[in-house]
Amino acid sequence: MKELITAIHNAQPDVVVVSGDLTQRARRREFERARQFLDELPQPYLVVPGNHDVPMHNVFARFTGALDNYRRYITEDLEPFYVDDEIAIVGLNTARSLTIKGGRVNHQQIARVEETLGQVPPDHIKIVISHHPFDLPEHYEGKHLVGRAQMAMNRFASSGVDLFLAGHFHLSHCGRTAERYSFGEYSGIFVQAGTACSVRVRGEQNSFNILRTNRDSVVVENVSLHREGVFRTASIDQFARTSSGWVRVRD
């Protein structure tokens, strides 16, 4: 944990995004530790809940106050918004009581994103963060995406969303939304976060992503934990804005 906090501070981020699953079983002591972790991050930061932040074994709490502990220890704002001179970030809560693992969005949530981003200057990079992904590499089936992803992506395309940041799968990926979705000349970028500090890794070391953006370029640097206990750059992907949307820049 200490090494992760140090690495994040060394990156000198303008804003930090935490894409959910701050706990394993949504227990109070886990949220207390998550609160301590957030307090050590550079500010400002945005955080959205994940499915593990909803109680699993306490059925009563799951259906009567699914995110009560999250609201108490983390934030009352389940769908935060951030804007500065260059970027705008909208958070979406995809965690649901009725699903153990998966997530969903509804029409009202997407309408709120459309309204919020509609007030953002056109030269800003528009970013959506969620726990469950709206897109993944092609070999993943649609069932792995957040519920109603197709509907949401159709409307996000009209809003000109540039970046989709998500967690959930414990594996790092990034790519173009045009590989899965076809909305004319629109193509955004999806960036999947790995596991930052949990021991539940899936074939890769603990990692996080550093994104560097301007109007016409996005660089995704994946930073992972090495054996000597320090975080180092593992890979770099670059995307450029074109008349056909965002495309990957090849070396």
Indicate the angle between helix axes 107-118 and 149-159, nearest 10 degrees. 10
Quote the strand ranges of 28-132, DSSP E: 45-47, 81-83, 87-91, 125-129
Q: What ranges do the domains of the chain cover?
A: 2-249
Q: Which CATH architecture is the domain 2-249 placed in?
A: 4-Layer Sandwich (3.60)
Which H, E and C letters describe 107-150, residue by residue? Answer: HHHHHHHHHHHHCCCCCCEEEEECCCCCCCCCCCCHHHCCECHH
Question: Residue 241 carries which side chain, given as an amino acid letter?
Answer: R
The whole-number pLDDT of residue 221 equals 98
User: Using an 8 Å Cβ cutoff, are 206 and 197 in contact?
Assistant: yes
pTM here? 0.93
User: For residue 145, what are its two tokens?
Assistant: 């995406």
Residue entry with tokens 């106050």: 65
Q: Do 3 and 230 form a contact (C-beta atoms < 8 A)?
A: yes
Q: Which 3 state secondary structure label does DSSP give 84?
A: coil
CB distance 26 to 33 below 8 Å: no
The residues of the chain scoring below 70 in pLDDT are: 56-65, 97-101, 200, 251
Largest Cα separation within the chain, whole Å, is 54
How far apart are the C-alpha atoms of 19 and 93, rounded to whole Å?
Answer: 10
